[in-house]
Amino acid sequence: MWAPVRASLPALATLAAVIIVLGVWPSAAAGKLTGEVSEEISLRTSLLVAGQVIANASDAAFGSPDIIRVDLGDDLAIVYCPDGATSTNARPNPATSNACAGAQTFTGARLRVLDGGFIALPGPGGAVTLNTTAGAAAVGGTNMSFNTIAVGAGVYAAGPTDLRADADAYVVRPLGNNATLEVRAQEGFRTFTGRGYTLLVSGSDGAFIETRGAFMGIADGQVNVTRAPLQIAEREIHLDELHLLLSSLVPPEAADRRADLAMAFGPFQVVPAILNGALATRANTTLDGEDLTAFHFWRVDSLLISSNASHYDADAAITYTADEVALITPDGKRPAPPLVLPLLLTMFALSGRYLTPRTAARRAVRLRAGLIGLVAVAITLVLSTALLSATLGVNPLLDATQLGARSRVQLQLLTFGMVAVAWALVGWQTSSLTRSVFATRGRSDAVLVPRLVGLAVATLFMFAADRGLLTAVATIVRL
């Protein structure tokens, strides 16, 4: 009885190994995205990215509405100018001590943020860099300005972020309704509240800001998006932080709603591991010259965005895309599970079961068949995780310890769902048909070989229709 089983196992093991190797080998296609930078910043209209975000530009305004730590230097010259005394957009002039009427000058000074934050404009030629370890960001806002300092096209990043600038002088304006800045100098301590003043800072050896949400202008700049380490991405990518950041920078009537947050990255917005290295847009974008009018989601291995005041160009290594809830392979084809074949197989299996008499196998044979069934499910589960790893960029089995609880549950549901659908569509039917064939040849108690045949067909079906299965199951699981 074991002879056909032993003869089939090497072939099945080889088949499974080949499919797993092919499944974990990611398929990627180069794509060129171009589009118009949205006039405002919004989860509805901005270009959205997630992962590790690094942006750089020169002469760019930067800041944060909620600064954790700031370091501009220990021996600064700071001039306080009340509003109306001078142009707040003027470049700082370190040689001018009396920069405005009613100025207060501080020497040997250090700047601290007690509450809220500020927006800063560096001196000419000052390079600015924004680095978000892992988080979500919006690119847009050509018309944005805060407390009279224009930002223009910018990147607005949530998550743990640091800002660095190498200029020696800055124009600083408070940001936020509760902004409180403190100057500690040789002349004593002075605390400034409200938003109606400018600080002209000179003598700096570079600026460093630590925060959990920041922005900077990227006109004539670049934004680089890569995949953060999975464990960090799971811990730090929170779309609600991006929602709060944007809401704190725009008037209440222009702020995004919670419903806009739920639609930000489409059906994938629940699982940070899938958002890690992601790009989403809803309009005003072309992919390789083809206009995109609906929501699109891409998982990218790397993305480089070059921006000017109103237009961006991006080169991306696209692993897959999604249009609403359907996955699309890099060649642009929308997959769909083949339903005609499963329907025919089901009809034939039911007919065969009705027309061919079957008898129960011996107890020992049934036990071996049950063991083969468990092995079959295990093999298809491993295959499912390998296929998901190639498509989504995260392995539900090997990466489980690095995933958060919610991501782990969602991805496991997706894994088991793909296995269940594969067996429900073709695995059970082919196993039943094989039993019917054996019954017509006088082996009405055969169960071992039919179980192996069902495993082989279910495995091949998962490999042939992996993205179609993923599309169908992801719609149910609601990633």
Q: What is the pTM of this model?
A: 0.77
Residue (of 132, 147, 130) closest to 208 by Cα position: 130
Identify whether the C-beta of residue 53 lies closer than 8 Å to the C-beta of residue 130.
yes
The C-alpha atoms of residue 90 and residue 78 are separated, in whole angstroms, by 15
Structure token pair of residue 332:
């642009």
Identify whether the C-beta of residue 406 lies closer than 8 Å to the C-beta of residue 271.
yes
In tens digits, the chain (479 residues) has pLDDT values of: 444 444 444 444 444 444 444 444 444 556 777 888 888 888 888 889 999 999 999 989 999 999 999 999 889 999 998 886 554 444 444 434 445 767 888 999 999 999 999 999 998 888 999 999 999 999 988 888 899 898 988 999 999 999 999 999 999 999 988 899 999 988 888 999 988 889 999 999 899 999 999 999 998 888 999 989 988 988 899 999 999 999 999 888 888 888 888 788 877 777 888 888 888 887 667 777 777 777 788 878 778 888 777 788 888 777 667 766 566 656 555 555 566 667 777 777 777 666 777 666 677 767 777 787 787 778 778 878 877 777 777 888 788 788 877 788 888 888 888 888 887 788 878 877 877 777 776 666 566 777 778 878 887 787 776 666 777 777 666 55
| Residue 425 to residues 62, 125, 321, 328, 453, Cα–Cα distance (Å) | 55, 63, 25, 22, 14
| Residue 298 to residues 138, 168, 277, 284, 391, Cα–Cα distance (Å) | 15, 40, 8, 15, 11
Q: What is the pLDDT of residue 475?
A: 65
The C-alpha atoms of residue 3 and residue 206 are separated, in whole angstroms, by 76
Burial class of residue 311, CB neighbours in 10 A (0-12, 13-18, 19+): middle
Q: What is the pLDDT of residue 319?
A: 67
Q: What is the pLDDT of residue 337?
A: 55
Question: Hey, CA dihedral for 415, 421, 423, 424, is it positive or negative?
Answer: positive
Sorted by where each begins, the domain ranges of the chain are 3-26+335-477, 29-328
The C-alpha atoms of residue 334 and residue 321 are separated, in whole angstroms, by 10
Identify whether the C-beta of residue 75 lies closer than 8 Å to the C-beta of residue 108.
yes
